[in-house]
Structure 1
Amino acid sequence: MFSCSSARKSRRTNVLTGSTVETIPATESKTPPENNNYSGPVRSLDVPLDIDRKAFVNYAKTFLGTPYKYGSSNPANGLDCSGLLYHIFQHYRVKSPRSSYDYANVGTTISLRKALPGDIILFSGENSRRIGHMGIVTENKDILKFIHAPGSGTRVTITPLSGYFEKHFVKVIRVLE
């Protein structure tokens, strides 16, 4: 796994295929989308957000199949893991971090068994304990599942918490009420 948005050229590993790709960060769109569900002032993640969990997850699912593109938060070009969350939060007019590692001290840490759809799940990087990947919990019944942009050569998908991701799991954070 890897940091979704850093400012340097690096080698990235696709966690699903194991292939390594050299990447150079792409530019990203910083403008919020025009179709915001929330028309008030821009909010922050300093306090729990009053966003409907089901609507939040359903909006995230509209990006299923979007190609992965390192450094991008624009679905027309592709998305990386933190770009997916950044774009979703922009939709709800929420100021959010752009890099996965910047979520380390955001929200309230909750236990895995108490995770709800809409909570954010964080993972360590390939060769690091630092946050390097993230997704949004979509369900937590028999097994927790999350939506994310896994890496080069993949598309936004829903994945169960097992194998590689279980090994690199760091924590779940709650930012929604």
Structure 2
Amino acid sequence: MKSPLYIVIAATFLFSSFVSKKENKTTVNPIHKIQNTIDRDSVITYSKQYLGTPYLYAGNNPKKGFDCSGFVNYVFQHFDITVPRSSSGYKNLGKSKLPEDFKIGDVLVFYGYKNKTIVGHVGIICEANGMHSKFIHASSGKAGSVTISDLDSEHYSKRFYKCVDVMP
């Protein structure tokens, strides 16, 4: 009679040791979250592979082409970050950053080329240096493709609206 009791006690002990190991696995979540943190450099590295992709109005496909917001949306979507699909969606998005706080991966928001009252263009900072930053974007202008431009160029500095951080 004693041996079945010993088996039950031993089984209970073994079972409880497995349960505590399972509990330890659930405490690994903070490490998992750290591994899921998005590296800003990775966003830029990923975006640069599309340099030269043609500009296409309403485009959001690297095989066909991008417009500015389609490009920004496509890049951040790769990292599971939701951003507006239209440049106008950035008008009230986030809190405007001071130039000295610009970081790579932040989104630059510009007024339109012809209409200085509505948002009309967006890009991603790839070299942060305040108002002397460089950004990657799909340009409908001279480049006609995904390109890197200077924020302090006359064309973009006079259209600059704000910079926002969209990273988690």
TM-score by structure 1 length? 0.68
In 2: Cα distance, 1:81 partner to 1:96 partner: 12
Counterpart mapping for 1:158-169 below 5 A? 158-161=148-151, 162-169=153-160
Aligned length: 129
Residue 155 in structure 1 maps to residue 145 in structure 2: yes
Shift of residue 113, structure 1, vs aligned partner: 2.3
In 1: Cα distance, 2:77 partner to 2:97 partner: 24
State the AA in 1 paired with 2:135. Answer: F
Q: Which residue of the other structure, out of 60, 65, 72, is the alignment partner of 1:78? A: 65
Residue 55 in structure 1 maps to residue 45 in structure 2: no
- Report the 3-state secondary structure (helix = DSSP H, G, I; strand = E; otherwise coil) of the residue aligned with 1:94: coil
Q: Which has the higher contact order (CA 8 A, sep 6+)?
A: 1
More strand by share: 1
Gaps of 5+ in 1: 1-48
- Report the 3-state secondary structure (helix = DSSP H, G, I; strand = E; otherwise coil) of the residue aligned with 1:134: strand
Gaps of 5+ in 2: 1-35
Question: Contact 1:69/1:79 (CA < 8 Å) preserved in 2?
Answer: yes
Q: Say which is worse superposed, 83-92 or 138-147, in terms of deviation.
A: 138-147
Shift of residue 109, structure 1, vs aligned partner: 1.5
Shift of residue 138, structure 1, vs aligned partner: 0.6
State the AA in 1 paired with 2:115. Answer: N
Q: Which residue of 1 aligns with 2:162?
A: 171
In 2: Cα distance, 1:95 partner to 1:117 partner: 17
- Report the 3-state secondary structure (helix = DSSP H, G, I; strand = E; otherwise coil) of the residue aligned with 2:158: helix
Q: Which residue of 2 aligns with 1:68?
A: 55
Question: Contact 1:112/1:171 (CA < 8 Å) preserved in 2?
Answer: no
Cα offsets for 1:98-155 (capped at 9, x unmatched): 1001011222320122101000000001223211000000112382100011106611
In 2: Cα distance, 1:141 partner to 1:97 partner: 25
- Runs of 4+ residues deviating >4 angstroms: none
In 1: Cα distance, 2:139 partner to 2:56 partner: 10
More helix by share: 2
Counterpart mapping for 1:104-143 below 5 A? 104-125=91-112, 126-141=114-129, 143=132
Question: Contact 2:81/2:167 (CA < 8 Å) preserved in 1?
Answer: no
TM-score by structure 2 length? 0.71
State the AA in 1 paired with 2:81. Answer: V
User: Larger Cα Rg: Structure 1 or Structure 2?
Assistant: 2
- Measured on the aligned residues, the alpha-carbon RMSD in Å equals 1.8
Shift of residue 176, structure 1, vs aligned partner: 1.6
